[in-house]
């Protein structure tokens, strides 16, 4: 545990002593702010129109109309920025040869992987927590429901954590950060749109493709549905990412 | 302290080291000598647990490197050829990180950092970013990193590479100061480094052991002739004949305005030569023993198949 914490601390420090984390977080927040603003603006104009009709007015739901699409937008931004946060994790250690220090210290491969992964999750969490600033205003001027909102955030966190695990894996296969980022981005996008292929598939394959798609599982969560199969899906992706990373590191040493 | 037996490492079809065996006793400094790509770095990486070997055994302080890697890693301080530094950290921050991953108890970390900073002379740069310090200081940070957990064994891969002459001397002095308290293996292709810092040497070429032993042993066993270099006021060619006629002399060569007089090991003709010089009034200017130096040794071993001990 102490070893994991040592690695984690060092990684967090590296994120925040280089400009990467600041730039990524800033761009992320600007984009989230923009999406939030347009959704709220749209919601406002809808409310004004509906104000004439008490029945429709009752139907207006800020969770459905603002937060659900907002979470979708945020997840797309995560798809774009997470490869940039994960590319460094292992590729750089290889490039500047510091992995020789890590692997000749009394650390296990698992400790190194978990240390780095948890640091990346801290950055992800920081990003998500900061998006609460605009969200808090909706509590002042409106009455959104908290549970579906938290559920959506849990979904975002799980999606981001899955992306990060896949990014960590691609960072372990190369010493070039750009290559790692590009491979991660390609893989994430492919997984995201896997359900498109499901439209033309039938029966068993349709279910498989739908199940594998990031989108399908995330959609439930933004709408406030917490299904164990979604949780299992994300946790399996995270586990698979970390497991493959371990396998790559292990095999590279034995070759 | 360090025992290597029949160690073999293959990268695919490429054989990096082949059936390597040697031993280093506690408290000694051994030089690891060989041309580039001879397998020095590979051997060191195996000893430090960075790479697994294809075959063979390596033990450090009685622990098998492959079976108890964590125990071995705690005993070894390793300075790789490319010093593993994080440029965006401060010297102090970096040493703290290394102390943590080497498993030093939190309460002792500060003391350990102060001790190595003092020992390798990093005080002037301790709070600067590693990115901004000179090559010489970086090398010292590398040494500090290897020393922080007070290891019994130090493995240094080309510790003086890329340094200026003054820095080389400083680093060598530092390494020599560990003599007796730690067992050290250092690799180098600077021959003078071996004579100046090491007790013994392992010479490898193309992954194979060419020779190993203490410097004295090796020179003695490789040297079948002994001799002196002689400089006289009398330069006449008869001198050569006079010297050749001395009993047991195996060769006399004129060089550098003097003579090289050689005889088989086991004899000592210095008294006879002195007597001759005095009797014939040849005027002695200089007489010094022809010790075989490390360069002769190295070239002989690398080119001539070497000896096994």
ipTM: 0.87
pLDDT > 90? residue B79: yes
Query: Minimal Cα–Cα distance from A63 to chain B, Å?
Result: 43
Mean pLDDT value across residues B190-204: 83
Residue A99, chain B, CB below 8 Å: the answer is yes
Q: What is the mean pLDDT of chain A?
A: 89
For residue A104, give the nearest of B78, B88, B100 by CB distance. B78
Q: What is the pLDDT of residues A90-101, one digit of tens each?
A: 999 999 999 999
Q: Could you tell me the two tokens for B305?
A: 């198949």
Q: What is the pLDDT of residues A192-219, one digit of tens each?
A: 888 788 778 778 888 888 888 887 888 8
Taken in order A58, A59, A65, A68, the sign of the CA dihedral is: positive
Give the C-alpha separation, B58 to A186, whole Å: 44
Domain range summary for chain B, segments of one domain joined by +? 2-220, 225-289
Q: What is the pLDDT of residues B230-244, one digit of tens each?
A: 888 888 888 888 888
Query: Minimal Cα–Cα distance from A100 to chain B, Å?
Result: 7
Chain B residues touching residue A96 (CB < 8 angstroms): 82, 84-87
pLDDT > 80? residue B44: yes
Chain B residues touching residue A103 (CB < 8 angstroms): 49-50
The verdict on domain B225-289 having CATH code 3.90.180.10 is: no
For residue B51, give the nearest of A14, A18, A253 by CB distance. A253
Yes or no, beta carbons of B80 and A100 under 8 Å apart? yes
Residue A100, chain B, CB below 8 Å: the answer is yes
Tell me how many domains chain A contains: 1
Q: What is the mean pLDDT of chain B?
A: 85
Interface test with A, best of B53, B80, B101, B158 (most A CBs within 10 A): B101
For residue A106, give the nearest of B12, B102, B145 by CB distance. B102
Residue A252, chain B, CB below 8 Å: the answer is no
Residue B227, chain A, CB below 8 Å: the answer is no
Range of the domain at A68: 2-254
Of B99, B35, B48, B116, nearest to B78 by C-alpha is B48
For residue B97, give the nearest of A6, A103, A104 by CB distance. A6
Yes or no, beta carbons of B86 and A98 under 8 Å apart? yes
Of the listed ranges A170-179, A236-245, B30-39, the least confidently predicted one is B30-39
Instruction: Tell me which CATH homologous superfamily contains domain B2-220.
Output: P-loop containing nucleotide triphosphate hydrolases (3.40.50.300)
Tell me whether strands B208-214 and B225-232 are parallel, antiparallel or unpaired. Answer: unpaired
Sheet holding B29-33, edge to edge: B76-79, B153-157, B183-188, B29-33, B200-205, B208-214
Q: What is the pLDDT of residues A35-83, one digit of tens each?
A: 999 999 998 888 888 878 877 777 778 888 888 899 999 999 999 999 9
The predicted structure's pLDDT at residue B309: 38
| A92: closest chain B residue by CA | B86
């Amino acid at each position: 545990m102490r070893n994991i914490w040592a690695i984690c601390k060092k990684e967090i420090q590296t994120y925040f002593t280089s400009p990467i984390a600041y730039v990524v977080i800033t761009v992320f927040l600007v984009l989230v702010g923009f999406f939030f603003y347009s959704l709220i603006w749209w919601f406002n104009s809808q409310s004004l129109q509906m104000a004439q009709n008490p029945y429709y007015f009752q139907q207006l739901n800020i969770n459905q109309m603002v937060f659900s699409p907002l979470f979708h937008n945020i997840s797309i931004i995560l798809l774009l920025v997470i490869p940039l946060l994960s590319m460094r994790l292992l590729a750089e250690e290889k490039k500047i040869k510091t992995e020789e220090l890590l692997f000749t210290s009394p650390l296990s491969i698992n400790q190194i992987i978990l240390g780095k992964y948890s640091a990346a999750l801290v950055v992800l969490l920081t990003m998500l927590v900061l998006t609460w600033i605009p969200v808090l205003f909706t509590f002042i001027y409106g009455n959104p429901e908290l549970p579906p909102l938290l559920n959506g955030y849990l979904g975002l966190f799980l999606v981001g954590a899955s992306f990060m695990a896949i990014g960590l894996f691609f960072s372990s296969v190369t010493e070039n950060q750009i290559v790692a980022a590009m491979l991660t981005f390609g893989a994430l996008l492919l997984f995201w749109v896997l359900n498109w292929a499901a439209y033309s598939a039938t029966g068993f394959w349709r279910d498989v493709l739908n199940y594998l798609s990031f989108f399908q599982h995330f959609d439930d969560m933004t709408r406030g549905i917490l299904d164990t199969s979604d949780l299992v899906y994300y946790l399996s992706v995270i586990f698979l990412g970390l497991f493959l990373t371990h396998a790559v590191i292990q095999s590279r040493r034995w070759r | 302290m360090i025992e290597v037996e029949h160690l073999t490492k293959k990268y695919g079809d490429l054989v990096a080291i082949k059936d390597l065996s040697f031993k280093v006793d506690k408290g000694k400094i051994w030089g690891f000598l060989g041309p580039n790509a001879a397998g020095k770095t590979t051997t060191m990486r195996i000893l430090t647990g960075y790479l697994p070997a294809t075959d063979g055994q390596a033990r450090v302080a009685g622990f098998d490197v492959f079976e108890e890697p964590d125990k071995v890693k705690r005993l070894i301080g390793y300075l790789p050829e490319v010093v593993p530094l994080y440029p965006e950290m401060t010297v102090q921050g970096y040493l703290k990180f290394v102390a943590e991953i080497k498993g030093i108890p939190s309460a002792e970390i500060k003391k350990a950092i102060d001790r190595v900073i003092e020992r390798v002379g990093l005080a002037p740069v301790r709070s600067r970013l590693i990115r901004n310090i000179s090559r010489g200081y970086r090398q010292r940070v590398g040494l500090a990193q290897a020393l922080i957990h007070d290891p019994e064994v130090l493995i240094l891969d080309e510790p003086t590479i890329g340094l200026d002459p003054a820095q080389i001397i400083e680093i060598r002095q530092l390494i020599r100061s560990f003599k007796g308290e730690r067992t050290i293996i250092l690799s180098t292709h600077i021959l003078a480094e071996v004579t100046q810092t090491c007790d013994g040497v392992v010479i490898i070429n193309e992954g194979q052991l060419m020779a190993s032993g203490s410097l004295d042993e090796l020179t003695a066993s490789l040297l079948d002739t002994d001799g002196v270099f002689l400089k006289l006021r009398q330069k006449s060619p008869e001198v050569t004949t006079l010297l050749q006629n001395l009993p047991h002399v195996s060769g006399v060569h004129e060089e550098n305005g003097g003579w090289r007089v050689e005889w088989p090991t086991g004899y000592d003709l210095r008294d006879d030569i002195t007597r001759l010089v005095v009797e014939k009034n040849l005027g002695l200017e200089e007489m010094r023993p022809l010790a075989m130096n490390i360069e002769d040794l190295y070239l002989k071993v690398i080119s001539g198949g070497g000896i096994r001990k």
